Structure 1
C-alpha cells in the first residue's frame, strides 16, 4: 500500500489541526484499512510532525492552551489565601492589643453565653458558634481576649473561635492555588 504525497499531506494537515479521528476515517475509507492499521498509519505520519506545527484551536474554556478554569481556580485560591492572611493578621493584632481574662459559660452550652469581668464590670458575650454535641458545659471556664477600648469586643481563646475559619479558608486557598499552578505547569510542559 502506498500513500500518494497529496493524500499524505491531507492526512498531515488533519493531524496538525488535531483532527486525528478524521484522519483515521480518511485512511480507512480511501485505503480499505482496518481500524488498527489506519490508526497505526496515522500515528506514523503524526511522528513526522514537529511539536511547533500543531494548531490547537481554543475551545470555549481554553485560551492559549491553558484552561480558563485554571485561571478561575487560581483567582479563587488567591482570594481565599488573601482572606486567610487578612483574618490571621487581624486576629494577631487583636490578641496583641487585647487583655486576657476568664469567662464562664452561664447558659446554653451548644451555643454558649459567656460571662466575664473586665475592669470591675461584668459583661456577657453570646457566641455565634453552635455545636452539637455542645462544646462546653455550664460553669466551664475559658480564656477570652477582651478589647480594652470596647469590652464587648471579645475573642474566645479556642481553636474554633481563633483558628478554624483561618485554617479552612487558608487551606482551601492553598488547595485551589496549588491545583491551578499544577495544571498550568503541566499544560506548559506539553
Structure 2
C-alpha cells in the first residue's frame, strides 16, 4: 500500500494537471480569434441545490446577457458560471468575448469565466501530487520501515521493547529475532522480522532490543516489529512489509 497509494494520488494529480493544461490551451485558443464587445444583462437565472445532510437549500445565480453582432443581429447567451452573490445585476453593461463563427458561445470577460476552471484543476492537481510525495516519504525519513503490518488484534495490542536474541539468514535476506517473556506466566514468545535485503548488523551494534506491537494476553496474536530506524543502502531495494506474522 505504501507504493500503490502514492502512485494512485500521483496519477490523479497528473490527470488534474493535464485537465488544467487543456483548460488553459482552450482559453488561449479561444482568445486568438475572439472579438470583445459590450453586452447587457437582461436576466439573472436562479439555480438551487439541496444539502441532504443539513436539509438546507443553497442558491446560485447565472447571468443572461444580450449583445449585437456587426450585422445588427442580437444574440442572447447564458453565462457559463453560477455564483452567489450574483456577479452582476439586470440592466448592467458588461464586457464579453465571442468568436464570430460561434457567437452562441460568447463568454464574459474576467477571471471566473476565463481562468477559474484551469486554476481549480491545477490547484487540486498540485495538492494530489504533494500528498503523493508526502505519503511516499512517510515512514521513510532517511530509510525504510520494516514491519509486519498493521496489527489486526483487538485494542489490547501494546508496544514493548523486546530483547534481541539472534539473527538468521534465509534465501530472502536477514531475519531479526526477539524473545519476550511474560512476567506473570513466564510464557515466552519468539518474534521474527520480515526478511531484510541488506545486512542490518552495522546499524544495530549498540542495540539490545526492538519495539514489537502485540497483545500480551494472547500468545497467538498478530504482531508487528518496527525497524524504522534502518536505512537501506542506496543499492539495496526497500524491504517489503510482508504479511502480518503470528506467534
**How many residue pairs align between the two structures?**
126
Preserved contact between residue 44 and residue 62 of structure 2 (Cα < 8 Å) = yes
Counterpart in the other structure of 1:156: 108
Counterpart in the other structure of 1:39: none
Preserved contact between residue 19 and residue 121 of structure 2 (Cα < 8 Å) = yes
Identify the structure with bigger relative contact order (alpha carbons < 8 Å, sequence gap 6+): 1
The structure where strand makes up a greater share of residues is 2
Counterpart in the other structure of 1:137: 89
Preserved contact between residue 80 and residue 107 of structure 2 (Cα < 8 Å) = no
Displacement of 1:181: 2.4
Displacement of 1:165: 1.3
Counterpart in the other structure of 1:83: 19
Preserved contact between residue 104 and residue 116 of structure 1 (Cα < 8 Å) = yes
Counterpart in the other structure of 2:62: 111
Does 2:25 align with 1:74? no
Preserved contact between residue 79 and residue 107 of structure 2 (Cα < 8 Å) = no
Q: C-alpha separation between the residues in 1 aligned to 2:131 and 2:25?
A: 25
Secondary structure in 1 aligned to 2:23? helix
Preserved contact between residue 117 and residue 123 of structure 1 (Cα < 8 Å) = yes
Q: C-alpha separation between the residues in 2 aligned to 1:155 and 1:188?
A: 49
Does 2:28 align with 1:92? yes
Q: C-alpha separation between the residues in 1 aligned to 2:97 and 2:79?
A: 14
Q: C-alpha separation between the residues in 1 aligned to 2:22 and 2:84?
A: 29
Preserved contact between residue 106 and residue 114 of structure 1 (Cα < 8 Å) = yes
**Any idea what the Cα deviations from partners look like across 1:33-84, whole Å, max 9, x if unmatched?**
xxxxxxxxxxxxxxxxxxxxxxxxxxxxx2xxx3311111100000000000
Q: C-alpha separation between the residues in 2 aligned to 1:185 and 1:154?
A: 47
Among 115, 129, 133, the alignment partner of 1:177 is 129
**Any idea what the Cα deviations from partners look like across 1:14-33, whole Å, max 9, x if unmatched?**
xxxxxxxxxxxxxxxxxxxx
| Runs of 4+ with >4 A deviation | none
Preserved contact between residue 99 and residue 145 of structure 1 (Cα < 8 Å) = yes
